[in-house]
Amino acid sequence: MKTALQARGQSRLEGKEPKKSRLAEQSEKVYPEQSERVKLPETDDGTILFRVPFPDDLKELHNMSPIVVKQPYHIDYIHSYGQDSPFFAGLSNGKLLGTKCPDCGYAYATPKGHCGECGARCDWVELPKVGRIHTFTVCQFGSEEFLKETPYMLILVEFEKFNTLFLSRLIGFDPKKASLDLVGMKVRPQFKRNAKFKPTDVYFVPAE
Amino acid sequence: MGIKNTRDVYFVSGGISKFAKARPDVTFQPMVKEAYDYALKDIGMENKQAQEVFDGSVASYFSDHFTRQLMAGIMIQDYLGLCPLPSHRAEGGGATGGICFQEAYKNIASGVMDVCVAYGFETMSHVNTWKGNEFIALASDVSFDYPVGGFYSGYYAMMVVRHMKEFGTTVEQLASVSVKNHNNAFHNKYAQKRRKLTIKDVRNSGMVAWPLTLLDICVMSDGAACGILASEEGVERIRKATGKTPKMVKVTGIGRGTDAMRMADRPHKEVILLPHEKASDYKGLKYPGIHSFRAGRTASKLAYEHAGITNPLKEIDFVELHDAYTSSEIQTYEDMGLCKYGEGGKFVESGAPFLPNLDYGLGKMPRQGEIPVNPSGGLIACGHPVGATGLMQAVFALWQLQGSMKKHLGDDTIQVKDAKRGAIHSHAGTGTYVTVSILEKA
Ligand SMILES: [Zn+2]
């Protein structure tokens, strides 16, 4: 059956009785003439496997090897930083921002829009120019996106008068020389010139 | 706070599909069915009877990314022939299985159901390990943590570095957890990795995130597990259907806790004390920081109070805990109060969490066998198909308390003798959700 829209559109364009849809035309053709078979169009891309081994006795299908196919899967994901957006704007201006609760004074080195201690809306504040390594690791492995960057060093940075920490990369230190002595070392932030609006727009280097 | 007892809840049967690197021979539904059918068979129940005896289910699986299939739970429900009975999915990262077990508990305790089946699975072989690491890393803050190159082994490495710095924990102490769990799993046919290891093997295996090596970390896995829980009336119904009384275990305590998703956000508060501890034990300790799991402590405290446990080390016979990392096993000893905060390294060195009857090649350990931890081999050796893991631990605990290890494994080496009470512990994120449940011989 044609939709009202199709019927209206076609009659307006052609000024006469609406045409039959393609599917309707095909279905009329198929049945009287078997030689003109209706077919889904086929393409040459992707996996084409001819003559998969198959037994005569269907009972044997329980022993058939499983078919495994690889399917590429890619999406562009539209990620919003929402209330954290000023942090990323700050990085592009060479500023490392945290937040502070105006009511209870709790200070977040990784910004938090609302205070987890008392619920108030936090204010944006600049973090001190120097922090200390609270802990670290050297990643020799990682998730797919970062494999090519290994080995890289992750640190959690502590800042004076801030209650929480900040996760970042440590650059300019030989990962082979990493030891527990790194804990407590002074570090300072550096910023990428061309901001990508990612938390990696800032990284840390030894400050002493 | 405190959990009030409502109705008695019994754990009557369980099943596990062998954990494997990959199961291309089945999609997830029949894999769950393997565990489900085993649990039915163990109490002599026919599939058809189950459809009449069961009141509903809870499904446990963590990641929609790994299956690329939403609503997988209903596909299992339907495959098992349990439609149109009620069901829901439980999801809480690594703790998914533990949460599922507790949701099944709640169904029974509240009187909503008399017999509830908890089933879970994960199929992690569908992507490469590094992609799997990425999927799991998406369970960390995707604005601030993941894009810096964060992944779970890295997060745990940073946590244990701080533990080492503050408490003097050593890499050898970490490695001995791996030696213990792999050696235990050598006697567990369900485990993915059954190897006898030395501390040297662990340290010499490839570094993943310093100081954690490949053998300090659990592996990705395909697997399923299933448990059947029932009220007294439910047990009676099972008895009527099968003509047999199942060898049941009572669930006497449940507890659950949470913490900030971003470990950078962990605050410093007072230590949550267990009944056998005093505030003076932890003077000056910055807690939880990133060296301890406040969620694990909360879960333990609630579960212990519910079960009436005042000194876990003395009153629990074994623990199956979430050892995704050797380091997190050590951290968890402390959260569960098996030793004081900061003493986890020394605790493993003493031999207390080892089985008493096994030779681990570590020489004489003064406290060997005091409270076996992960007699099954834990996640490190069994594998970690996330949605199945917590239920797998529950099933091993059930078999320990039934004294039926030999029946299920064909080997009773890891059977804890005269086990009367056990604890299971399930853990997500860097300690974001944690569950502890207490099981006792009925
Ligand atoms: Zn506040």
**B171-185 vs B326-335: helix crossing angle, rounded to 10:** 100
* Stretch 247-266 of chain B: residues touching chain A, C-beta under 8 Å: 260, 262-266
pLDDT in tens, A110-155: 999 999 999 999 999 999 999 999 999 999 999 999 999 999 999 9
Q: Does A135 touch chain B (CB under 8 A)?
A: yes
ipTM for the assembly: 0.95
SS3 B378: helix
pLDDT in tens, B174-198: 999 999 999 999 999 999 999 999 9
* Contact criterion met (CB < 8 Å) for B264 and A166: yes
Tokens of B296: 């694990």
Cis peptide before B211 (omega within 30 of 0): yes
Q: Does B147 touch chain A (CB under 8 A)?
A: yes
SS3 A139: strand
* Contact criterion met (CB < 8 Å) for B147 and A152: no
Q: Does B31 touch chain A (CB under 8 A)?
A: no
Whole-model pTM above 0.95? no
Tokens of B11: 């754990």
Cα distances (angstroms) measured from residue A80 to each of A113, B106, B285: 14, 37, 38
Q: For position B439, what pLDDT does the model report?
A: 98
> DSSP string spanning B216-279?
GB----EEEEEEEEE-HHHHHHHHHHHSS----EEEEEEEEEE--SSGGG--EEPPPPPTT--G
Q: For position A152, what pLDDT does the model report?
A: 98
* Contact criterion met (CB < 8 Å) for A164 and B264: yes
Enumerate the residues of chain B whose CB falls inside 8 A of the CB of residue A108. 265
Cα distances (angstroms) measured from residue B434 to each of A122, B209, B223, B301: 29, 24, 21, 12
Q: Which residues pair with B254 in a beta bridge?
A: B437
pLDDT in tens, B401-410: 999 999 999 9
* Contact criterion met (CB < 8 Å) for A144 and B133: yes
Q: Are B347 and B333 in contact (CB under 8 A)?
A: yes
pLDDT in tens, B216-238: 999 999 999 999 999 999 999 99
Enumerate the residues of chain B whose CB falls inside 8 A of the CB of residue A140. 206-210
Q: Which residues in chain B land under pLDDT 70?
A: 1
Q: What is the mean pLDDT of each run of 10 residues along chain A (208 residues)?
A: 41 50 58 72 85 93 92 92 98 98 98 97 98 98 94 98 98 96 98 97 96
Cis peptide before B385 (omega within 30 of 0): no
Q: For position A6, what pLDDT does the model report?
A: 42
Q: What is the DSSP letter of A20?
A: P
